Homo-oligomer: A and B are copies of this chain.
Amino acid sequence: MTATPGRVVWFTGLSGAGKSTLASALYERLSAQGERVELLDGDAVRENLSRGLGFSKADRDTNVRRIAFVAGLLARHGVTVLVSAISPYRGTRDEVLAGLPNPVEVFVDAPLSVVTDRDVKGLYLKALAGEIEHFTGVSDPYEAPLAPDLHLRTDRKTVEVCLTELLEHLGVRDVANA
């Protein structure tokens, strides 16, 4: 066990809101500055830890708890862990964040109309056409954080501005823009 605990930065929000984009940008910046950092992306983790789970509330919660379990292991060994996962249920999010060292909840927020317009993966069109069940924001709920540590409106701010806010919140000196 390391003497200096890490932290977990948890990006939550709708599909297409920009979670992975921001988490990746933060990962690159922190890595470049020599920080021990790991990115746990919801989709990748699902592939490695939760294949076979679906998108019911119970299955989504199980997936979120598994991500949190792994994030906690890494953070307790001094790693800064960036989690990018829709994690739509407030109660489950609150519960797992409370069990993690130095948790930072980041609400990556863009209105449904905007993410539907973006439709990065072409999924909203299918979901709105009823071709995908349990699609967060369309046929499944998204419970927004009531008091996130950081609330980033990605329809109003650029990635670079959001990243600067993230770095400031984390107390990381922004070397690139110093």
A residues adjacent to B (C-beta < 8 A): 1-2, 31, 36-38, 48-49, 51-52, 62, 65-66, 69-70, 73-74, 77-79
**A66-B49 in contact (CB<8A):** yes
Contact between chains at A73 and B1 (CB < 8 Å): no
Q: Please tell me if the beta carbons of A69 and B48 are within 8 angstroms of each other in the complex.
A: yes
Contacts of A48 in B (CB 8 A): 65-66, 69
Contact present for A2 and B70 (CB under 8 Å): no
CA gap between A73 and B69 in the complex, in Å: 12
Q: Chain B's nearest CB lies how many Å from the CB of A58?
A: 10
Closest to A72 in B: B48
Select one of B51, B70, B77 contacting A62, CB under 8 A: B51
A–B pairs, 21, beta carbons within 8 Å: A1-B36, A1-B37, A2-B36, A36-B77, A36-B78, A38-B73, A38-B77, A48-B65, A49-B69, A49-B70, A51-B62, A52-B52, A52-B62, A70-B73, A73-B73, A73-B74, A74-B74, A74-B77, A77-B77, A77-B78, A77-B79
CB distance from A99 to the nearest CB of B (A): 12
Across the interface, which residues of B come within 8 angstroms of A66, CB to CB? 48-49
Which residues of the partner chain B approach A51 to less than 8 Å between Cβ atoms? 62
In the bound complex, CA of A70 to CA of B48 (Å): 9
Separation of A78 and B73 alpha carbons in the complex (Å): 13
CA–CA, A73 and B49, complex, Å: 13
Give the docked Cα–Cα distance between A66 and B66 (Å). 11
Contacting residues, chain B, for A2 (C-beta < 8 A): 36
* Chain B residues with CB under 8 A of A37: 1
